[in-house]
Amino acid sequence: MSTALKFATPLIVAMALVGCNKKTETTTTTTASAPATTVTASANGATATATVSTTTTSTTAVDPNMTPEDHKKARERIMKDWKKTNQTIGAMVKDPSKFDAAQVKAAAEKLNQNPWVHYPETAKGGEAKDEIWRDAAGFQQQIDKFKTAASALNAAAATATSVDGIKTQFGDLGASCKSCHDKYKED
């Protein structure tokens, strides 16, 4: 075994193990994050060091065996999670004395879930209007608005020390949800 390989092998294994901390699901988006990690490997008295930085990522892998009903259930579950997020943060906006920065941050992170992959044309129905599939470009614009608003709320929640730090972003998120639901959700 070459000297370079002796140094690199433990380092490669260590870097791969850092990546194993990431969670993935087959039907929804999961968010995983880990702090930057410095890995040191040594062999025969020589040392190699590398810093592996892992940032929050969003990965979606949809199970190709999902039925249309599975897709409907998955997107509805995510939307219900978002409703709870809205209620959690909304209660704090209504009563600023209940503000809890950690709770706001955790709630906002749930907005990284990705229900959009659960809208294949074969999974029409549920509370989704057929307009979603007739106006794919318009629906995509709504998705983009939501993602922008959710990202802004997540950024604000990361440093907020009071309701004032998230109020505008939370309002923008609510407006995004309402705009999409008005056009694409059954009553």
DSSP strands (E only) in the chain: 30-32, 37-43, 46-52, 57-59
Q: Which helix (H) or strand (E) holds 33?
A: none
pLDDT in tens, 55-64: 333 445 678 8
Residue 19 scores a pLDDT above 50: no
pLDDT in tens, 65-75: 999 999 999 99
Average confidence score pLDDT of the chain: 76
Residue 37 sits at φ, ψ, to 5 deg, of -125, 135
By CB atoms closer than 10 A (0-12, 13-18, 19+), residue 187 is exposed
- pLDDT, mean of residues 94-106: 97
- pLDDT, mean of residues 169-179: 96
* Domains of the chain, first to last: 3-58 (no CATH), 65-184 (1.20.120.10)
pLDDT in tens, 144-171: 999 999 999 999 999 999 999 999 999 9
